[in-house]
């Protein structure tokens, strides 16, 4: 099957009485000619890389290659220990985890693109948080990554997951929707609820532009990963509570595509508009590259 429409995916899962993750597993095995056990083992290795990246930045501060950013994952993780935080400490830890992966990425360390490197913190952040909660087995987490993959395929094929093509909504927005959907299925939600999680989440990031300072995957990408990990957790709870996306998820994805096409190229990963064009953005660019904004 081709992953292009969420409603088709949900219908097929219901017909076969499979979760979206299980459905993805059977399709992946069939199309690749590998056994389901092989696919799961390969996915588990991806999770191992994710977990390493999550743990690195909270254990010690990590600096980016340019020196513009770094140490925020460690900062948040230390702050949690003080107590008296607004968000529950374990929830904030998911934020620190997401920041950590994005910092490892900016330091040219090893990450898993989910769906891209710019948005690589969100899914690992919430999944390692789920693992730490002790409520889920590693195998459940690995299966939920296949849920996330199926959702990402639909978005990638019917809209975009490229910041250069569709803005940050296509990268961080897609990653957050994938993460929310994966969490819903992990918690035992139905395929319909997974769909609503995607719709609810994407609606919250429509129009998000890709305006990184100097074109680098640092400002605002890193903090955006941290904050959107919180959004993914909140959206999963919202969908599990029974809140529905009144605009069907497939129509939200289509809207995201249309909005992406309407964005000027200065706001699509060229590092020319938005935050990149602020006085400070331009100064930092000069600091890294020398020379002026072209």
Partner 1 sequence: MKYNSAFDIIGPVMVGPSSSHTAGPIRIGNIARQILAETPMQAEFQLMGSFAETYQGHGTDLALLAGVLGLGTDADEVPRADKKAEELELAYKFIPANLGFYHPNTVAISLTGASRTVRLIASSLGGGKVEVQELEDLPIKFSAENPALIMYHTDEKGFLANVSRILDANGYNIARLSLERWRRGGTAITLCEVDGEIQPELLSTLQDSLPYLREIRFVHVD
Q: Which residues bind partner 1 (CB under 8 A)?
A: 2-4, 24, 28, 31-33, 39, 42-43, 45-46, 49, 64-66, 104-118, 120, 123, 145-146, 148-150, 152-153, 156-157, 160-165, 170, 178, 214-218, 265, 268-272, 288-289, 294
> Which CB, 92 or 104, lies closer to partner 1?
104
Instruction: Give min distance, CB of 17 to partner 1, in A.
Output: 20
Instruction: Give min distance, CB of 75 to partner 1, in A.
Output: 20
Compute CA distances 189 → 28, 130, 158, 174, 183, whole Å. Answer: 22, 15, 24, 20, 9
> Which CB, 220 or 271, lies closer to partner 1?
271
Six token digits for residue 124:
């690992």
Instruction: Give min distance, CB of 240 to partner 1, in A.
Output: 23
Instruction: Give min distance, CB of 114 to partner 1, in A.
Output: 6
Rounded Cα distance, 252 and 206, in Å: 9
Instruction: Give min distance, CB of 27 to partner 1, in A.
Output: 8
Compute CA distances 272 → 137, 145, 209, whole Å. Answer: 45, 34, 12
DSSP, collapsed to helix, strand or coil, labels residue 107 as coil
Backbone angles phi, psi at 113, to 5 degrees: -70, 120
> Which CB, 117 or 227, lies closer to partner 1?
117
> Which CB, 6 or 123, lies closer to partner 1?
123
Contacts for 205 with CB less than 8 Å, ≥ 6 apart: 168, 169, 172, 173, 176, 228, 231
Specify the DSSP class assigned to residue 44. H
Angle subtended at Cα 144 by Cα 29 and Cα 106, rounded to the nearest 5 degrees: 100
Instruction: Give min distance, CB of 137 to partner 1, in A.
Output: 18
> Which CB, 114 or 231, lies closer to partner 1?
114
> Which CB, 52 or 237, lies closer to partner 1?
52
Dihedral sign from CA coordinates of 148, 94, 37, 137: negative
Other beta carbons within 10 angstroms of residue 178's beta carbon come to 31
């Amino acid at each position: 099957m081709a992953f292009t429409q969420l409603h088709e995916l949900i219908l097929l899962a219901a017909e076969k009485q499979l979760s979206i993750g299980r459905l993805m597993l059977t399709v992946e095995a069939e199309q690749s000619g590998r056994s389901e056990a092989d696919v799961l083992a390969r996915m588990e290795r991806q999770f191992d890389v994710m977990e390493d990246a999550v743990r690195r930045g909270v254990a010690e501060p990590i600096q980016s290659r340019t020196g513009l950013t770094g140490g925020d994952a460690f900062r948040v993780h230390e702050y949690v220990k003080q107590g008296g935080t607004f968000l529950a400490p374990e929830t904030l830890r998911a934020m620190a985890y997401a920041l950590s992966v994005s910092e490892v990425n900016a330091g040219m360390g090893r990450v898993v693109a989910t769906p891209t490197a710019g948005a690589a913190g969100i899914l690992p952040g919430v999944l390692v948080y789920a693992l730490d909660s002790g409520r889920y087995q590693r195998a459940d987490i690995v299966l939920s990554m296949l849920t996330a993959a199926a959702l990402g395929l639909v978005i990638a094929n019917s809209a975009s997951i490229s910041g250069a093509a569709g803005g940050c909504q296509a990268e961080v927005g897609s990653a957050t929707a994938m993460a929310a959907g994966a969490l819903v299925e992990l918690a035992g939600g139905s395929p319909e609820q997974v769909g609503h999680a995607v719709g609810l989440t994407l609606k919250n990031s429509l129009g998000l532009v890709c305006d990184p300072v100097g074109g680098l995957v640092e400002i605002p990408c890193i903090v955006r990963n941290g904050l959107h990990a919180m959004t993914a957790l909140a959206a999963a709870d919202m969908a599990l509570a029974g809140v529905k996306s009144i605009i069907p998820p497939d129509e939200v994805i289509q809207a995201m595509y249309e909005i992406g096409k309407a964005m000027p190229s200065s706001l699509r990963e060229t590092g020319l508009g938005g935050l990149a064009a602020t006085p400070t953005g331009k100064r930092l660019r000069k600091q890294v590259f020398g020379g002026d904004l072209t």
